[in-house]
């Protein structure tokens, strides 16, 4: 049985006509931007290979969850660092990325970072790294919140009589259409909600149950838990 990483590199090299290597040092010697996209638990291996080996002019762009700029700086012995919090819809070009940069990163390099992130969705630059932990809780983990709601709403549809395939189709398009409506209508989510929820109607009855169950408070607790965990993983005090 062959090495999966070797097989994957070979596939990527052939598909995109790019040079591939399993050697961190070799891969870092050329190019103006080095993207760190390994799992956080593998970062010590990267540091061992690259510490003090990068050109001072190279830009390091890290999408590793929980690995702070301070950790990257100390581990790589390098100053020009961009740290990014992306989310999984980037896989289909619909991602949201929040990023920040060290003072040593030039205006031109910030432009590179912005362009790279725009290729997989939308991006937002923030001045302070503390916002990345907030972003982690809100939009990094955020897709899972929507997936959970789609699961729950689909299950509710099954319970009232739809077959699962039909229920999921209805729920999915409702979620997608609602998002686009918020984006394009120029109205706030609250305004749109009020437009749907006529007095004494079906939507009002449903929303009353959400209110009884303290839905908004539950969402706030969930996001706070994710935020606290993000700070803990990044080595921040509670």
DSSP per-residue string spanning 164-213? HHHHHHHHHHHHHHHHHHHHHH---HHHHHHHH--TTSHHHHHHHHHHHT
pLDDT band with cut points at 50, 70 and 90 for residue 9: confident
- Per the prediction, the chain carries an average pLDDT of 91
Say if CB 120 and CB 114 are below 8 A apart: no
* Superfamily the domain 142-233 falls into: ProC C-terminal domain-like (1.10.3730.10)
Give mean pLDDT, residues 12-35.
Answer: 71
Q: pLDDT at position 26, please?
A: 55
Q: Is the pLDDT of residue 146 over 50?
A: yes
Give mean pLDDT, residues 88-97.
Answer: 97
Q: Is the pLDDT of residue 238 over 70?
A: no
Residue 35 has a CB neighbour count (10 Å cut-off) of 16
Q: Give the pLDDT confidence of 38-68 residue by residue, as tens digits.
A: 888 888 999 998 998 999 999 999 999 889 9
Q: Is the pLDDT of residue 131 over 50?
A: yes
Give mean pLDDT, residues 156-181.
Answer: 98
Say if CB 104 and CB 80 are below 8 A apart: yes
Name the percent of the chain lying above pLDDT 90. 77
* Superfamily the domain 4-127 falls into: NAD(P)-binding Rossmann-like Domain (3.40.50.720)
Give mean pLDDT, residues 91-98.
Answer: 97
Distances from the Cα of 20 to the Cα of 29, 35, 41, 51, 59, angstroms: 13, 14, 22, 21, 19
Q: Is the pLDDT of residue 154 over 90?
A: yes
Q: pLDDT at position 106, please?
A: 97
Q: pLDDT at position 2, please?
A: 43
Sorted by where each begins, the domain ranges of the chain are 4-127, 142-233
Query: Do 4-127 and 142-233 agree at the fold level?
Result: no
Distances from the Cα of 147 to the Cα of 8, 116, 165, 168, 188, angstroms: 28, 26, 16, 11, 22
């Amino acid at each position: 049985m062959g090495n999966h990483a070797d097989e994957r590199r070979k596939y990527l090299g052939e598909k995109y006509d790019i040079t591939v290597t399993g050697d961190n040092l070799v891969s870092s010697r050329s190019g103006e931007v080095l993207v760190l996209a390994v799992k956080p638990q593998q970062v010590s291996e990267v540091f061992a290979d690259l510490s003090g080996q990068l050109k001072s002019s190279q830009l390091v762009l890290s999408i590793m969850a929980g690995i702070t700029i301070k950790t990257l700086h100390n581990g790589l012995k390098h100053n020009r660092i961009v740290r990014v919090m992306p989310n999984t819809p980037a896989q289909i070009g619909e991602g949201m990325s929040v990023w920040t940069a060290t003072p040593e990163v030039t205006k031109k390099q910030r432009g590179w970072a912005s362009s790279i992130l725009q290729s997989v969705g939308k991006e937002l630059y923030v001045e302070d790294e503390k916002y990345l932990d907030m972003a982690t809780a809100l939009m990094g983990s955020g897709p899972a919140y929507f997936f959970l709601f789609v699961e729950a709403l689909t299950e509710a549809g099954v319970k009232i009589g739809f077959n699962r395939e039909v229920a999921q189709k209805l729920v999915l398009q409702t979620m997608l259409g609602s998002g686009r409506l918020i984006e394009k209508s120029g109205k706030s989510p609250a305004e749109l909600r009020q437009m749907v929820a006529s007095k004494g109607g079906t939507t009002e009855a449903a929303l009353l149950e959400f209110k009884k169950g303290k839905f908004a408070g539950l969402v706030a607790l969930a996001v706070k838990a994710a935020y606290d965990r993000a700070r803990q993983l990044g080595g921040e005090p509670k």
